[in-house]
Structure 1
Amino acid sequence: MTNPDWTAAWTAALADMELEADAVEQMLRHRDLLEQAGERAAFVPPSDIGPLPLELTDRARLLVARQLDLSRELSVAIAGNRQQARLVNRTRREGGGGGAPPVYFDNRT
């Protein structure tokens, strides 16, 4: 028999973790809006909530799989950002650094 307090605590913790995963997905999908997004409090795991109730096992497994997928996506995004930063730095160095940085202007609008 599962303690009802444990079930409620784990349900709330999993909901908070899912909200955190939702925020990461939004960040990955809408990187252009990242600068406009406010600071979000990071998930802090609760302490002393007891063992995971059996009825929440499937939900927890799905969440772990989702988090692993998101961590892979974040790694790819971080690597891409680093590559872009290296390219920008190299472009600045090769341009002599004395003038304005090159810009792209799209006048199709």
Structure 2
Amino acid sequence: MSGTASAWNRAWAQALDRLESDVASAEALLLEEHMLRELPKFDPWTPPAGLGPLPLDMRPRADAVLRRQLEVATKLAAAMSGAAMHSLVIGKMVEDRRDPARPSYVDVAM
């Protein structure tokens, strides 16, 4: 492998490493362990300048990363929907201070 091809493969390997790291962080958000630590800082991935086309031998790895990203996106959307529904239910259970006209029930049999 020539020096240029080797540098090209290294650049792509580093780019895929970053994408895999981002997916792993998103996967960790879906686990309960994320509650025990701070959320990861949002740092969107951008392709490095001059990266060029994907080397053919890295296609399986890139496809695997894409599959993981799509799975995580689906799971995160479901988790967000669930959190929104949970928030709605909790909001209905919490006393609304803006509505003081709520009925009160008092046991006067004593």
How many Å apart are 1:67 and its aligned residue? 0.6
Equivalent runs, 1:81-100 vs 2, <5 Å: 81-92=83-94, 95-97=95-97
Q: Is 1:59 matched up with 2:53?
A: no
Kept in 1: contact 2:20–2:65 (CA 8 A): yes
> What's the % identity of the aligned pairs?
27
TM-score by length of 1: 0.74
Query: What's the counterpart of residue 36 of structure 2?
Result: 33
**Counterpart of 2:6?**
4
Query: Quick one: which amino acid aligns to residue 88 of structure 1?
Result: I
- In structure 1, distance between residues paired with 2:30 and 2:16: 21
How many residue pairs end up in the alignment? Answer: 95
Quick one: structure 1 residues 29 and 51, their matched pair in 2 at CA, closer, same or farther if it must change by over 3 Å?
same
Question: How far 1:45 sits from its partner (Å)?
Answer: 2.3
Question: Matched residue of 2:30: which SS?
Answer: helix
Q: How far has the Cα of 1:50 moved from its partner? A: 0.6
Amino acid at match of 2:97: G
Cα deviations across residues 65-89 of structure 1 (Å, max 9, x unaligned)? Answer: 1110000000110001110111122
Rg larger for: 2
SS at 1:13 equivalent: helix
